[in-house]
Protein backbone atom coordinates (compact mmCIF):
# COMPACT_ATOMS: atom_id res chain seq x y z
CA UNK A 1 0.00 0.00 0.00
CA UNK A 2 2.88 2.37 0.61
CA UNK A 3 6.09 3.52 -0.90
CA UNK A 4 9.06 1.92 0.83
CA UNK A 5 11.58 3.48 3.15
CA UNK A 6 9.39 6.05 4.86
CA UNK A 7 9.26 6.58 8.60
CA UNK A 8 6.02 8.57 8.88
CA UNK A 9 3.24 6.36 10.16
CA UNK A 10 0.04 6.14 8.20
CA UNK A 11 -3.09 4.92 9.90
CA UNK A 12 -6.01 4.92 7.49
CA UNK A 13 -9.53 4.48 8.77
CA UNK A 14 -12.18 2.86 6.60
CA UNK A 15 -15.65 3.60 7.94
CA UNK A 16 -18.75 1.89 6.60
CA UNK A 17 -22.32 1.71 7.84
CA UNK A 18 -25.00 -0.57 6.49
CA UNK A 19 -28.64 -1.29 7.08
CA UNK A 20 -29.39 -4.87 8.08
CA UNK A 21 -32.94 -5.97 7.37
CA UNK A 22 -35.05 -6.25 10.52
CA UNK A 23 -32.02 -5.41 12.70
CA UNK A 24 -31.28 -1.73 12.13
CA UNK A 25 -28.02 -0.03 11.20
CA UNK A 26 -24.50 -1.20 12.05
CA UNK A 27 -21.15 0.36 11.38
CA UNK A 28 -17.54 -0.69 11.33
CA UNK A 29 -14.21 1.09 11.41
CA UNK A 30 -11.12 -0.69 10.12
CA UNK A 31 -7.82 1.06 10.86
CA UNK A 32 -4.92 -0.14 8.72
CA UNK A 33 -1.23 0.58 8.43
CA UNK A 34 0.44 1.74 5.23
CA UNK A 35 0.53 -1.86 3.96
CA UNK A 36 -3.26 -2.19 4.33
CA UNK A 37 -2.87 -4.57 7.26
CA UNK A 38 -5.44 -4.25 10.03
CA UNK A 39 -4.35 -2.54 13.21
CA UNK A 40 -7.81 -2.40 14.77
CA UNK A 41 -11.43 -3.14 13.96
CA UNK A 42 -14.41 -1.80 15.86
CA UNK A 43 -18.07 -2.33 15.14
CA UNK A 44 -21.30 -1.16 16.69
CA UNK A 45 -24.27 -3.07 17.96
CA UNK A 46 -27.33 -2.59 15.75
CA UNK A 47 -28.99 0.81 16.08
CA UNK A 48 -32.69 0.45 15.45
CA UNK A 49 -34.71 3.67 15.41
CA UNK A 50 -38.32 3.34 16.47
CA UNK A 51 -41.24 4.57 14.36
CA UNK A 52 -41.53 7.86 16.28
CA UNK A 53 -37.86 8.62 15.62
CA UNK A 54 -38.33 7.77 11.94
CA UNK A 55 -41.23 10.24 11.73
CA UNK A 56 -39.54 13.01 13.72
CA UNK A 57 -36.12 12.78 12.03
CA UNK A 58 -37.53 12.27 8.53
CA UNK A 59 -34.83 12.43 5.85
CA UNK A 60 -32.19 13.38 8.43
CA UNK A 61 -32.49 10.04 10.27
CA UNK A 62 -29.89 8.03 8.35
CA UNK A 63 -27.21 10.78 8.39
CA UNK A 64 -27.87 11.23 12.14
CA UNK A 65 -27.52 7.49 12.80
CA UNK A 66 -24.45 7.11 10.56
CA UNK A 67 -22.62 10.19 11.83
CA UNK A 68 -23.58 10.91 15.41
CA UNK A 69 -24.48 7.45 16.68
CA UNK A 70 -22.24 5.14 14.65
CA UNK A 71 -19.29 7.11 13.23
CA UNK A 72 -18.58 9.30 16.23
CA UNK A 73 -18.82 6.32 18.59
CA UNK A 74 -16.44 4.20 16.51
CA UNK A 75 -13.83 6.95 16.26
CA UNK A 76 -14.04 7.70 19.99
CA UNK A 77 -13.62 3.98 20.82
CA UNK A 78 -10.67 3.45 18.49
CA UNK A 79 -7.42 2.80 20.32
CA UNK A 80 -5.41 3.40 17.14
CA UNK A 81 -6.43 6.81 15.86
CA UNK A 82 -6.39 7.17 12.08
CA UNK A 83 -4.69 10.11 10.33
CA UNK A 84 -7.58 10.09 7.87
CA UNK A 85 -10.96 8.36 7.79
CA UNK A 86 -12.29 7.34 4.39
CA UNK A 87 -15.86 6.46 3.51
CA UNK A 88 -17.63 5.41 0.36
CA UNK A 89 -20.95 6.83 1.59
CA UNK A 90 -21.28 10.56 1.04
CA UNK A 91 -23.78 10.83 3.91
CA UNK A 92 -20.91 10.06 6.31
CA UNK A 93 -19.08 13.26 5.35
CA UNK A 94 -21.26 14.99 7.96
CA UNK A 95 -19.30 13.09 10.60
CA UNK A 96 -16.60 15.73 10.14
CA UNK A 97 -18.82 18.16 12.07
CA UNK A 98 -18.59 15.87 15.12
CA UNK A 99 -14.95 14.73 15.15
CA UNK A 100 -11.56 16.38 14.88
CA UNK A 101 -10.28 14.13 12.08
CA UNK A 102 -10.35 14.60 8.31
CA UNK A 103 -13.13 12.56 6.71
CA UNK A 104 -12.67 11.79 3.02
CA UNK A 105 -15.25 10.53 0.56
CA UNK A 106 -14.05 8.23 -2.22
CA UNK A 107 -15.37 9.52 -5.52
CA UNK A 108 -16.96 6.91 -7.76
CA UNK A 109 -17.02 9.44 -10.61
CA UNK A 110 -13.65 11.20 -10.84
CA UNK A 111 -15.24 14.23 -12.50
CA UNK A 112 -17.98 14.62 -9.88
CA UNK A 113 -16.03 16.99 -7.64
CA UNK A 114 -13.43 19.33 -9.11
CA UNK A 115 -11.84 19.81 -5.65
CA UNK A 116 -11.09 16.11 -5.22
CA UNK A 117 -7.53 14.88 -4.79
CA UNK A 118 -6.02 11.68 -6.19
CA UNK A 119 -5.13 9.15 -3.46
CA UNK A 120 -4.15 5.65 -4.56
CA UNK A 121 -6.35 4.71 -7.52
CA UNK A 122 -9.23 6.89 -6.36
CA UNK A 123 -10.15 10.53 -5.97
CA UNK A 124 -11.11 11.80 -2.52
CA UNK A 125 -13.24 14.81 -1.66
CA UNK A 126 -13.84 16.43 1.72
CA UNK A 127 -16.56 18.22 3.65
CA UNK A 128 -17.16 21.64 2.11
CA UNK A 129 -16.71 23.39 5.47
CA UNK A 130 -13.32 21.76 6.02
CA UNK A 131 -11.37 22.39 2.80
CA UNK A 132 -8.02 22.26 4.62
CA UNK A 133 -8.61 18.57 5.36
CA UNK A 134 -7.34 17.80 1.86
CA UNK A 135 -3.88 18.90 3.02
CA UNK A 136 -3.58 15.57 4.84
CA UNK A 137 -3.49 13.87 1.42
CA UNK A 138 -0.63 16.05 0.30
CA UNK A 139 1.18 15.19 3.53
CA UNK A 140 0.45 11.44 3.45
CA UNK A 141 -0.04 10.85 -0.27
CA UNK A 142 3.47 9.58 -0.84
CA UNK A 143 2.82 6.80 1.68
CA UNK A 144 0.16 5.23 -0.54
CA UNK A 145 1.05 3.65 -3.87
CA UNK A 146 -0.76 4.90 -6.96
CA UNK A 147 -1.88 1.28 -7.53
CA UNK A 148 -3.65 1.04 -4.17
CA UNK A 149 -7.37 0.27 -4.46
CA UNK A 150 -8.94 2.09 -1.53
CA UNK A 151 -12.31 0.44 -2.13
CA UNK A 152 -10.97 -3.01 -1.21
CA UNK A 153 -10.81 -2.42 2.58
CA UNK A 154 -14.51 -1.51 2.56
CA UNK A 155 -15.29 -5.02 1.36
CA UNK A 156 -13.41 -6.36 4.39
CA UNK A 157 -15.37 -4.05 6.70
CA UNK A 158 -18.71 -5.10 5.23
CA UNK A 159 -17.80 -8.79 5.40
CA UNK A 160 -16.71 -8.39 9.02
CA UNK A 161 -19.99 -6.62 9.84
CA UNK A 162 -21.99 -9.40 8.19
CA UNK A 163 -19.96 -11.98 10.12
CA UNK A 164 -20.51 -10.14 13.41
CA UNK A 165 -24.24 -9.90 12.74
CA UNK A 166 -24.38 -13.61 11.90
CA UNK A 167 -22.53 -14.55 15.10
CA UNK A 168 -24.79 -12.24 17.10
CA UNK A 169 -27.86 -13.87 15.53
CA UNK A 170 -26.55 -17.37 16.34
CA UNK A 171 -25.90 -16.42 19.98
CA UNK A 172 -29.42 -15.04 20.29
CA UNK A 173 -30.94 -18.28 18.95
The pLDDT tens digits for 83-132 are 999 999 999 999 999 999 999 999 876 556 767 888 888 999 999 999 89
Radius of gyration of the chain (CA): 16
Identify the residue with better confidence: 8 or 123. 123
Convert the pLDDT of each residue in 37-93 to its tens digit: 999 999 999 999 999 999 999 999 999 999 999 999 999 999 999 999 999 999 999
> Do residues 70 and 62 make contact, with C-beta atoms less than 8 angstroms apart?
no
Going by C-alpha positions, the residue among 33, 31, 1, 34 that lies closest to residue 14 is 31
- At residue 165, the 3 state secondary structure works out as helix
pLDDT of amino acid 173: 62
Note the CATH architecture for domain 12-172.
Answer: 2-Layer Sandwich (3.30)
Task: Say what the pTM is.
Answer: 0.89
Amino acid sequence: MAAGGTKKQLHLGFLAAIEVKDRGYVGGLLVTNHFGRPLEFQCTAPVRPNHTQEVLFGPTLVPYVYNELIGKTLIEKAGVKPNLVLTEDERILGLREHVDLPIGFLQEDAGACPDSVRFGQQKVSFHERHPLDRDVLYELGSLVSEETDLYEPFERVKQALQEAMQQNKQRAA
